[in-house]
Structure 1
Amino acid sequence: MRIVSMALITALGLSVTACGSTTANRSVYSERQPVVSKSNFVLDLSAGNGGLSTAEQNRLSGWFEALELGYGDRVSIDDPSYSASSLAKTAVENIVASYGLLVSETAPVTEGHVQSGLIRVVVTRTAASVPGCPDFSHRSHTDFQVRTSENYGCGTNSTLSAMIADPEDLVRGQKADGEDQSRASKAIRAYRDKNVGGQ
């Protein structure tokens, strides 16, 4: 009878160990992290010495509307032959400015060759997502070693990915170079220096 009991206890212990071996995360760090993907959209425009024609400007505006251009998008001009006039680039910058954006100084490398007399407008768009979330494959799993499941952190990271305005902030954050610190602390100084109770 004693031998049977020991065998039963050993079998239960091995089964619990087997169930707990699927999850190796023993911290509160989420295994499911946001992944940022980047896509480039290109449009070649005819740019003469007189700048962009009205038809080309309307074509560019319609393309921006179809892409739903907005905050977080990067717009750049690719002119490897330097054949486009400054008037053409200024016309592109004015259209981009109507969307509240600025034209980036450098353009990413794209497929194909820009022919002479053309300029390429590149819209770089980033998106954030959390692959594999949600994961309820081990919903009924009971772990006696206090290890987090595969689904841990899916809700927080998925919500962050959906709400963030510029997904590139998840990669490199915001730069503070060139900011006026005295201006940034103006509200704090006003709060500290205010007259309380007529003093």
Structure 2
Amino acid sequence: MTTTKRIAAALLATALATTLGACSGEQNRSLYSTKQPVVERTHYTLDLVSGPGGLPISEQRRLAGWFEALDLKYGDRVSIEADTANPATVDNVGAILGRYDLALSDTAPITEGFVEPGRTRVIVTRSIATVPGCPDWTDDGDANYMNATSRNYGCATNSNLAAMVADPEDLIKGQESDGRPVVTSSNRAIEAYRNGNLPEVGSGGGTTGGGPE
């Protein structure tokens, strides 16, 4: 009887441990947040009629209107598909882009579709940063037997960082010096923030998540 009772007690303890482990789910026992900013890029393209002398006035106006419709701003990257432009066209695009205090990027991303002869493709790359899954209160009522970090840990800090960064690409790779004083680029970022050119973040963005940081 003693042996039987010991076996039964061992089985009961194992069952309880398994049950408690199942209730706890995946747990983060570190002090690092599992909710991190994710940067997504979107490419917008416009094919313009061009010739040896560059862009006709009508196409320059069309390009300017397109930039205005996109609400071009700091953090956007504008490039020209290399095989579709001549120096005169590059100068035309650069002049219009200069109105936004932006410069053409050296390289262009790969885009879909074929560019017809006699046309130049202009590409605007826009990046946004979000923190998927925030806020996350799914473990609010769970028993925390392992003293694990809350699933919502870091949501407020990282969501605000994603919403406030002037150029989301900086979260991937920091900026390199282009020869200009650092204050020049920092002032542009501050100006973008003051002008309200940063993305709005709703409840899905997690800025209302709160919780321990």
The question of a shared fold, defined as TM-score above 0.5 by the shorter chain, is answered with: yes
Check 1:12–1:109 CA distance in 2 against 1; reply closer, same or farther (3 A cut). closer
Q: Which residue of 2 aligns with 1:40?
A: 43
Q: Shift of residue 19 of structure 1? A: 2.9
**Structure 1 position 78 matched with structure 2 position 81:** yes
Q: Which residue of 2 aligns with 1:99?
A: 100
TM-score by length of 2: 0.73
CA distance in 2, matches of 1:17, 1:40: 45
Q: Which residue of 1 aligns with 2:166?
A: 165
Q: Shift of residue 49 of structure 1? A: 2.1
The letter of the residue matching 1:113 is F
Q: Shift of residue 145 of structure 1? A: 2.1
Matches within 5 A, 1:18-57: 18-20=22-24, 22-57=25-60
Give CA-to-partner distance per residue, 1:107-166, whole Å, 9 cap, x none.
111111111111100001111111111111121123132101211111111111111111
CA distance in 2, matches of 1:177, 1:149: 42
CA distance in 2, matches of 1:126, 1:99: 17
The alignment-based identity, stated in percent, is 50
CA distance in 1, matches of 2:105, 2:16: 63
The letter of the residue matching 1:129 is T
Q: How many residues are aligned here?
A: 173
Indicate if the aligned counterparts of 1:73 and 1:124 stay in contact, CA closer than 8 A: yes
CA distance in 2, matches of 1:16, 1:29: 24
Q: Shift of residue 62 of structure 1? A: 0.8
Larger Rg: 1
Matches within 5 A, 1:1-199: 16-20=20-24, 22-81=25-84, 84-176=85-177
Gaps of 5+ in 1: 182-199
Q: Which residue of 1 aligns with 2:209?
A: none
CA RMSD of aligned residues (A): 2.4
